[in-house]
Structure 1
Amino acid sequence: MSPRRGAWAELLRISALFTVPGDALAGAAGAGLRPNRSTALAVGASLCLYEAGMALNDWADRDEDARDRPHRPIPSGRVSPRAALTAAAALTGAGLALAARAGRPSLAVGSALAATVWSYDLWLKHTPAGPAAMGAARALDLLLGATATAAAAAPGGTGTASGPGTAGAPRAAARAALPSAALLGAHTVAVTAVSRREAQGGSSAVPLAGLLATGVLGAMASRRSPADRTAAPAPAHGAAPATPVPASRGSLAAVGRLAAPVLAAGYAGTAGRPLLHAALNPSPPLTQRAVGGGIRAMIPLQAALAARGGAVGVALGVIGLIPAARTLARKVSPT
């Protein structure tokens, strides 16, 4: 990798990109729907908006990084502030364009997601609302997948417009996926809270609280999804129902209920071990490892959220991203 490409890879934290596709896929599963073309559009939008947030984050923190982390791409001079800001704006535009292709409801959710990302990076990061804003961003990303998938799955839905057959389905899908969105958002809040001390360390309380949250979230993720896998979410009045995931007489749901606790345990272990180490010794290196572990743990959490509703194939696809994420993380830090 050339020095220029390496600088951009570091700025955009490309090793963390593997934690993004599972948001939309878990959203579709949480709504009781099969992934479709519009799910892929939601994944593309999520990737663009995530990378926009990474570029904007370093642009906004360039003065702080010059003091605490001078090796970062902007303070080291490898990427100019103007280039980083331009990339953030361009990626945001691309993400919103992809969300619009999935339908008006998806564009609405994508716009809320983009607004949350920019608000966090520019204003909320160093306020008490920072972790909650990050949690909201991840939750919205999951709901983006649910609404996009539902618009295309409904009879008459094309994923490119919101006609009469699709008007109520995205709203119903978002309601059905809310429990999964809440779990993913809560995990993100915990990781963000720990990350605020990664450069200084010195506090055992925050990683200890994160460890407790991880245990609770792992237990909840192993439970059966509230979504009914034998029928699609009830649409709003006058709207056509979305197409459900075929349950194959409940066999997939049964397998998923068996797989979800295993995947949830993998999530708890991935996030919990480094958090325990950071709680015992809250030094900057161990705190940074705890943050990295929390980011990597999103993949098994997304897989557990998909599996608990019976979307076993989706869960396996998501968990299959882990080897690639680990390989790239050795070259580019996700934090």
Structure 2
Amino acid sequence: MTPPAVGGAPIGRPSDWAELLRLPAGLTVPGDALTGASATGGTPHRRTWLAAAASLCLYHAGMALNDYADRDQDAGERPERPLPSGRVSPGTALTASGTLAAAGLLLAARAGRPALLVAGTLTVTAGAYDLGLKHHALGPAVMATARALDLLLGAAATDPVSFRRALAPAAALGAHTWAVTAVSRQEAGDGASAGPPTGALLTSCAIGLGLGLAGRSVRGRRRGRRTAGPVLAAATAVYLATAVPPLIRAAAAPAPANSRRAVASGIRAVIPLQAALCARSGSATAALALLTLAPIARHLAERGDLT
């Protein structure tokens, strides 16, 4: 069947857009704002949720822009994707990206000037990555910066005064993103090596160790926060169980298929990592809420491409 079109340009079906925007991966995004809010010691409120909505818009804007920028490369390596297959036109994808980015910035503006400043920096960083820096040696660092900024967006919207408290969680999330992005460079083509997945494996283990050590201080806090200790332990275990096994396989047998599996698992591992970081900040409720998303993300990942 011919895809729906306007003026001769294919606009795609809902399933095409779900694939283009990586909708299942969107489940990993609202937790950034919640983690940032928890890090400030504040309670999520209206501006926090506005920041979460802004993050979702900016994330999916980046996904559309990524496929627009990679359409020629994908034509050779992944011709089944929406743009090279002709199901969605490049112009339509670019328009969608711009519209989503504008919506994200408007929502961030409603969350306050500090949130808008962070969101604007995030938009520029993600756009620079999509439009060229992804192919540069600094690509993983740029993507890590974008993800860290997304967490800081939630902190800035919730409590700008306590913004700095979110720097450590943002660094942990950024390190995880850096490692996963480095592995993603081996998803297509030849020349996969054990180096990136080994580095990502060490990074994940280091993050897990840091969270484990943080659990001791959480258990020693006042009674109202002691329940966060067991939740932190559980979330850390889920994080390691999600991220580590595929990385071991990718390091032991370097191949594009194994790299793709490791990247998909690394994306899903963001959710339990966010939960662990919330628990580290003493917010057991937020952590438990995020953990409920982990099985949903796994189910949706089996029905669509995350990478």
Tell me the TM-score normalized by structure 1: 0.85
1:1-335 alignment, distance < 5 Å: 4-150=13-159, 170=160, 172-200=161-189, 202-224=192-214, 250-335=222-307
Tell me the SS of whatever aligns to 1:224: helix
Kindly indicate whether the alpha-carbon contact (under 8 Å) linking 1:257 and 1:309 is maintained by their aligned counterparts in 2: no
Identity %: 54
Q: Specify the SS of the correspondent of 1:73.
A: coil
Amino acid of the residue matched to residue 205 of structure 2?
G
User: How has the CA–CA distance of structure 1 residues 304 and 252 changed in structure 2, closer, same or farther, with 3 Å as cutoff?
Assistant: farther
The residue aligned with 2:9 is none
**2:109 partner SS:** helix
- Alignment-mate amino acid for residue 279 of structure 1: A
Q: 1:222 to 1:28 in 2, by over 3 A?
A: farther
- Matched length: 295
Cα distance in structure 2, aligned partners of 1:303 and 1:329: 19
How far apart in 2 are the matches of 1:178 and 1:74?
37
Whether contact under 8 Å (1:27, 1:177) holds in the other structure is: yes
- The structure where helix makes up a greater share of residues is 2
Structure 1's consecutive aligned runs of 4 or more residues displaced over 4 angstroms after TM superposition are none
Give the gaps of 5 or more residues in structure 1.
Answer: 151-169, 229-248
Q: State the TM-score, normalizing by the size of structure 2.
A: 0.92
Instruction: Check conservation: 1:299, 1:321, Cα contact below 8 A.
Output: yes
Quote the offset at 1:224 in angstroms: 3.1
Deviation at 1:87, TM superposition (A): 0.5
Is the CA contact (8 Å cut-off) linking 2:231 and 2:288 kept in structure 1? no
CA distance 1:149–1:223, change in 2 (3 Å): farther
**C-alpha distance after superposition, 1:266-306 (max 9, x if no partner):** 11121111000001111111110000010000000000000
Question: Over aligned residue pairs, what C-alpha RMSD do you find?
Answer: 1.9
Cα deviation for residue 308 of structure 1 reads 1.2
Distance in structure 2 (CA, Å) of the matches to 1:57 and 1:116: 13
For residues 207-252 of structure 1, the C-alpha deviation after alignment (integer angstroms, 9 at most, x for no partner) is 0111011000111123438x99xxxxxxxxxxxxxxxxxxxx8224
Amino acid at match of 1:319: L
- The secondary structure found in structure 1 opposite 2:258 is helix
Letter in structure 1 aligned against 2:90:
P
